Chain A
Amino acid sequence: MTSVTHDESAYVPPAEVEEPELYHPKTFVGKYIWSQDAKVIAVQYAITAIGIGLVALVLSGIMRLQLGFPHVFSFITPSNYLQFVTMHGMIMVIYLLTALFLGGFGNYLIPLMVGARDMVFPYVNMVSYWVYLFAVLLLVASFFVPGGPTGAGWTLYPPQAILDGTPGHNWGIILMCVSLAFFIIGFTMGGLNYVVTVLQARTRGMTMMRLPLSVWGIFMATILALLAFPALFVSAIMMTLDQALGTSFFMPALVSKGQHLNYNGGSPILFQHLFWFFGHPEVYIVALPAFGIVSDLIATHARKNIFGYRMMVWAILAIGGLSFIVWAHHMYVSGMNPYFGFFFATTTLIIAIPTALKVYNWVLTLWRGNIHLTVPMLFAIGFVFTFINGGLTGLFLGNVPVDLPLSDTMFVVAHFHMVMAVSPILVVFGAIYHWYPKVTGRMLNDTLGKFHFWFTFLGTYAIYYPMHYLGILGVPRRYYAVTGTEFIPQSAHSLNEGITIAALIVGAVQVVFLYNLIWSYFKGKPAGGNPWRATTLEWQTPQTPPKHGNFGATLPVVYRWAYDYSVPGAAEDFIPQNQPPSKKARGLEQTLDAGELGAQTRSASGAPKPVGGSS
């Protein structure tokens, strides 16, 4: 047992805080529409992201209908199918997951968790949301323009993205590129806030190494996004110029339908490099916040400190750094130099090390923990399972000789859905069940939550496990129909039907979740300030939901790290970060240090009362 020194001199009175220069909304519109309060902006981001995400969910249902029952639905034409594939992918990755993790959870959690009154640039933060909304509307508009949205696949590879045969090669692709450019501008505004708030606006005593891992994950993901999104920005602009003004950045000399096009000498591979220089960090932009949040969920609901906090922080940093030098593993089939492929295969395998460390640490945190199988915990454990599954197939695909035959098959689809679709979305659900009580003051319904979890968790396995097998058989991705193909056996078609049925059930179950969100807002059980008995600052606010300014008259002072759960000798099984150490606790610690077993039983008489705990 390491000695813990608690003494009165460690107590620091809260700082004399001047009346903060907050923006004070006077009208309903100022408070909820043109709001500069990070918490309101977070909810705006979350509702918009979930709304557009539902569109993408419906699109995936239509795709699955086509794949499971080809030639049955006359309204799904080959062009439509490609458009639905494209929009589903782009919406889910960028407009749902990135926006929800960084714009939604980032805005809500960063100021509360670091003990700030708001983001450092509230006005810029507000503009960020409205630019994001504009980008979403541009994206939606592409469904209604002549030719429809682009059908180039979410990777938008040229030259086919702007050639005649591709659906939406006119308006669709331009709206897509412009929408992405606006998304990036909006995100940059928000991202500046997230980074500078974490760096500069932490409250007294909140050192970087006392930050909850949620903040670390969101912080690092934001840095990745700020540095990686410019690559997408550049490629979106060049693509727009190629399509609208006829430049040849990406477009090579081409003969299309017997006609020489006016393009000359452009490099499609250049686009792939730019796209994946953004695209691979994007995986971690989605994954790192999930890693951080799930660490906090597991520690809180297992009533145990996170195993290897320092290692977790280092792993987040290592993953962030490495994610910039693995991008070409998406391009093994582009005819690259074998040494180039070897380099990227090596870096890809190296990034598995910090990732595996994190997985071990989650499992070791659960080990002999006091596990409460609450709904957030179920989703967190579900995440660990799914992430291991998806991560292992990543090791397969990271090796050049294994990737070559599997490239562009259903195996790839299964891999990235497990690792960067299902895993992060399970964390999103877990996080919503965890923080909804703080956002609304009411608990989500537990029974509906468990129903939602089991159907989603088992359902996604019913969808994606068989898909690996289809991929190994050689079933290609993005094909409208593979009937009448010699090498694909009948069993693969019946498997596809089964996958479709599972996908439709999982999709329908999400309605239960939405119903729960709305029903609980009005009828849910009142939550109180700290229903999960958690240590971090957002649960110690004087009001729930927190008012504008977050912490009332004085900002909290932080005395300890975020994971003081089940501390021997403490009165409760958690000690909030803002609870000062006391002399009485010191006496107890010393007895413990002397090795007197049974000291914990004495805690009832002499231990400090937590400040601001569940009261």
Chain B
Amino acid sequence: MAIAVGWLVRQTLNVKPWIEQRPVKNVDGEGALPLPPVKVGLGVFLAVATSLFALLVSAFFMRKMGADWTRLAVPRVLWLNTVLLLLSGVAMQWTRAAARRGQIDGVRSGLIAAGVFTFAFLAGQLWAWQQLNASGYFVATDPAAAFFYLLTALHGLHLLGGLWVWGKTTAKVWRGVEVGAVRMSVELCTVYWHYLFLVWLVLFALLLST
């Protein structure tokens, strides 16, 4: 919100359009952000996702005040998963650097590494579900467990959406396109992966604090 307000002030909301007849600048979309539309689109989407997760976090805290709330022993495997997700982000960053240097081989191996780590993370999350279920907590057993399943599921779905774009990009690289054709997708994926890692850190801290 603060970013939005800051941006709006920069739009010179104080100009008087009815008397102002300054020469038209020879640029398209005067006052637009100096970014390609897809990046702005991703930014707006991240704002929506932030709103979603922030509301889930506040719901978590409100529900936590309930009398029946008990602590949840979080499966250990989540620590490993955190490292896996971090590694997938690092691999994405490395891919991005390779794409900027124009090395298609680096892009290919980087994308594959990032994909492998991400799938490993998702498998680890399912493993955590399995463990929690085995220890007697299914979704309806306990409010903290219900939040555990809900938060990890929504985070995982967001990651799956990212993997869809990752899949299309990897397929393109496989077919042997120029680096230029995938550079933007790689940049967007990198931002998105870092974002989902940050969200995961917040959610993980939340789940540890039950």
Contacts and interface: CB of A to CB of B under 8 A. Distances in A.
Contacts of A5: 21
B21 A246 contact: no
A321 to B, nearest CB: 7
A241 B139 CA distance: 9
A223 interface: yes
Contacts of B44: 191-192, 195-196, 226
A9 to B, nearest CB: 6
Interface in A181-239: 188, 191-192, 195-196, 199-210, 223, 226-228, 230-231, 233-234, 237-238
Interface string A237-250: 11001000111110
A477 interface: no
A49 interface: no
Interface string A572-593: 0000000001000000000000
B134 interface: no
Contacts of A188: 45, 48
A203 B29 contact: yes
Interface string B127-159: 000000000000110010010001000100000
Interface stretch (A309-317, A513-521, A598-606): A309-317
Interface stretch (A265-273, A426-434, A453-461, A502-510): A265-273
B17 A2 contact: no
Contacts of A245: 139-140
Interface in A72-92: none
Interface string B20-39: 01111111111111010110
B150 A266 contact: no
Contacts of B8: 208, 317
A314 B5 CA distance: 11
Interface in A296-321: 305, 309-310, 313-314, 317, 321
B24 A270 contact: no
A12 B24 contact: yes
A4 interface: yes
Interface stretch (A20-28, A416-424, A530-538, A558-566): A558-566
Contacts of A238: 59, 150
A10 interface: yes
B72 interface: no
A374 interface: no
Given A9-B23, A192-B45, A226-B48, A249 B143 contact: yes
A295 to B, nearest CB: 14
Nearest to A1: B19
Interface in A1-58: 2-6, 9-10, 12, 15
B205 interface: no
Q: Which of A3, A10, A205, A560 has the most CB of B within 10 A?
A: A205
Given A6-B21, A309-B17, A309-B18, A199 B32 contact: yes
Interface stretch (B49-57, B103-111, B172-180): B49-57
A345 B29 CA distance: 41
A518 B204 CA distance: 57
Q: Which of A9, A202, A581 has the most CB of B within 10 A?
A: A202
Interface string A343-383: 00000000000000000000000000000000000000000
A202 B45 contact: no
A230 B59 contact: no
A204 B28 contact: yes
A192 B17 CA distance: 27
Contact of A206 (B26, B30, B38): B30
Contacts of A206: 29-30
B209 interface: no
B42 to A, nearest CB: 9
B37 A120 contact: yes
B188 to A, nearest CB: 13
Nearest to A559: B24
Nearest to A313: B13
Given A204-B27, A234-B52, A209 B17 contact: yes
Given A3-B19, A231-B51, A313-B13, 11 more contacts: A2-B19, A12-B23, A188-B48, A192-B44, A204-B24, A226-B48, A234-B56, A247-B146, A248-B143, A265-B143, A270-B62
Interface of B: 1, 4-5, 8, 11-19, 21-33, 35, 37-38, 40-41, 44-45, 47-48, 51-52, 55-56, 59, 62-63, 65-69, 139-140, 143, 146, 150, 154
7 contacts: A6-B21, A10-B21, A199-B32, A199-B40, A265-B66, A265-B143, A274-B59
